[in-house]
Amino acid sequence: MTVTRLRIMHPGERNRETPLSKAGAHRETRDEIIPLSERERSLRTRKSCPKALSQTSGDTSRNTPGRNPAPFLPAPPPPPPIGAAPSANTPPPVRRRDQPRGDLQNDEPIFDLGDCGSNLLLFVAYSWNEEKAFGHKSIDPSDGNTTDNINKAFIRTLQGDALNSLTEAMMENLQLIMRTPAAPESKMPTWVTEGMYAFCYRVMFEAGYLTLFGRDLMGQDAQKALILKKLDNFKEFDKIFPALVAGLPIHVFKTAHHAREKLAEGLRHENLGKRDHMSELVRFLNDMLSTLDDMEKAKTQLAVLWASQANTIPATFWSLFQMMRSPEAMKAATEEVNKTLESAGQKISLEDQPICLNQMQLNDMPVLDSIIKESLRLSSASLNIRTAKEDFTLHLQDGSYNIRKDDIIALYPQLMHLDPEIYPDPLTFKYDRYLDENGKTKTTFYSNGLKLKYYYMPFGSGATICPGRLFAVQEIKQFLILMLSYFELEFVDSNVKCPPLDQSRAGLGVLPPLNDVEFKYKFKHL
């Protein structure tokens, strides 16, 4: 783990096309972690450099003339954002805006910093070792362990026709889980009280696991018991994930290490072979990793499991919580769901066929889309990372910065998501913030009088935008549709307050609540 320099800029600062600079040679920097509270204090008290941290890492002789001192990064940046599939260690390159397409490896698209309206972090010498977190070998094609580009594989198996299959399977599995407690003999529905985050965790993990890795042939009851054990192991492993990202070895955490190995064991080829209806993603990944042994493949599948669950679960919680907390959102969402089901000829019943909506019908639900977007805007805290492939100078409103080859540039979208110029009253949940005056999806947002190309980035952007983002949104939308269709929903405390975000996972994607919120639900009289 290496931690070096940080630069924070005001939203809306624009970059101009820049000549190359002759920056100094690369030098390794020391490891250090500054607690969040220290960082916050330094940001508030630093006078001579109000928009940047004051610490610098060691010798500054590598700074070229005119370079502003580069402050210290308080913690190493995390892996890709919500739902993102694992990628190679090195982030994708930053392309100079005046550079022709096709010069860089894999023909990566332009990442136009000036169109983000976002705060910018500049730092160097970062590498998050995903293999150490999950225990598998590198899946970078250049290392010879895969037969195809991993990112292309995820796009192929998470979008297009493959997305249709995943969406259908997820809808079926969600209803399998949600409708099961409705025993035929239960004449009068009764209220069930549960922590909302615990409920979302349980339902989404089980449905997501079945959708990706298929159903066990041993029967539903045995399958549920097995998945609940996997859920416990997943929670134990995920709990220490920030520490793994910070560079601590997993063997320090014996319980979590054991949980990771148990999860991987269940994903070995011989165990997956006992399951039916596996996703194309899992089958394709097994074939693509042909040079790895069975346990290495299983640990790669574990990385897929983590990527599919770790951010989708808290995103589902926040979407349900914010929707229920707003009477206007509940009313608008319920009306949209009822209208969609009616136009699709779907009848809500616990005894008849499950609800079935196709991709086109799900995509035509702007109210739910807006609720999900607004929930993610308020809770996501990912980093968007690029690596410079050559030396150049970055010109900004408050000065110029020499970027060296292999320096890393990161955008922190949360600062943009909470910018009051882009989003008035940014800390308030507004279910219709992403709806225009006609009730359609709003796509026009401004900063400093300029229309923004990037105004919403919980999934990253450009070449490394999360390949599973479409499926993640559909999962959450399906969950909300079914909750509104089958259940009456209430908070235990009618004056419930919004729980604080768990900042220990800042940078990992969607922040979970620091504490759970109790709610109650019961089946409707259908």
Bridge partners of 208?
A: none
CB 152 within 8 A of CB 456: no
- Annotation: binding site: 466
DSSP letter for each residue of 96-150 = PTTSPTTSSGGGPPP--GGGS---EEEEES----HHHHH------GGGTS-SS-H
User: 128 in a domain, yes or no?
Assistant: no
CA dist 399 and 421 (Å) reads 22
Burial group, residue 193, by CB count within 10 angstroms (0-12, 13-18, 19+): exposed
**Looking only at Cα atoms, what is the longest distance across the chain?**
80
Residue 353: alpha-carbon gap to chain centroid = 33
Question: What are the structure tokens assigned to 361, written together?
Answer: 């019908």
User: 229 in a domain, yes or no?
Assistant: yes
Total number of domains in the chain: 1
Q: What is the pLDDT along the chain (526 residues), one digit of tens a residue?
A: 333 333 433 334 433 333 323 333 333 333 332 333 444 433 333 333 333 322 223 333 334 434 344 333 333 344 444 334 334 344 444 444 444 333 323 333 323 333 443 344 443 333 445 557 888 777 766 666 665 677 888 899 999 999 999 999 999 999 999 987 644 455 557 999 999 999 999 999 999 999 999 988 777 777 888 999 999 999 999 999 999 988 899 999 999 999 999 999 999 988 888 888 899 999 988 888 877 889 999 999 999 999 999 999 999 999 999 999 999 999 999 999 999 999 999 988 887 789 999 999 999 999 999 999 999 999 999 988 888 999 988 887 678 888 899 888 888 899 999 999 999 999 999 999 999 999 999 999 999 899 999 999 999 888 888 999 999 999 999 999 999 999 999 999 999 999 999 999 988 899 999 999 999 999 997 6
The amino acid present at 108, given as its one-letter code, is E
User: 124 in a domain, yes or no?
Assistant: no
Q: What pLDDT sits at residue 474? A: 98
Among residues 452, 470, 471, 469, which one has the least CA distance to residue 411?
452
CA dist 380 and 84 (Å) reads 13
How open is the CA angle 300-305-306, to the nearest 5 degrees?
Answer: 95
Rg of the chain, C-alpha, whole Å: 24
User: 365 in a domain, yes or no?
Assistant: yes
Q: Residue 157's domain is classified under what CATH number? A: 1.10.630.10
CB 296 within 8 A of CB 136: yes
Place of tokens 């959450």: 476
216-252 residues labelled b (16+ CB within 10 A) or e (exposed): beeeeeebbeebeebbebbebbbebbbbbbeeeebee
CB neighbours of residue 400 within 10 Å: 16
Q: How many Cα atoms within 13 Å fall on the side-chain side of residue 28?
A: 5
Among residues 415, 381, 395, which one has the least CA distance to residue 13?
395
User: 35 in a domain, yes or no?
Assistant: no
CA dist 207 and 173 (Å) reads 5
- What residues make up the domain containing 311? 150-377+427-438+467-523
pTM of structure: 0.78
Q: What pLDDT sits at residue 187? A: 53
Q: What pLDDT sits at residue 247? A: 87
User: 97 in a domain, yes or no?
Assistant: no
H or E element that contains 373: helix 366-379
User: 348 in a domain, yes or no?
Assistant: yes
User: 126 in a domain, yes or no?
Assistant: no
CB neighbours of residue 421 within 10 Å: 16
Q: What pLDDT sits at residue 148? A: 65
- Annotation: binding site for heme: 466
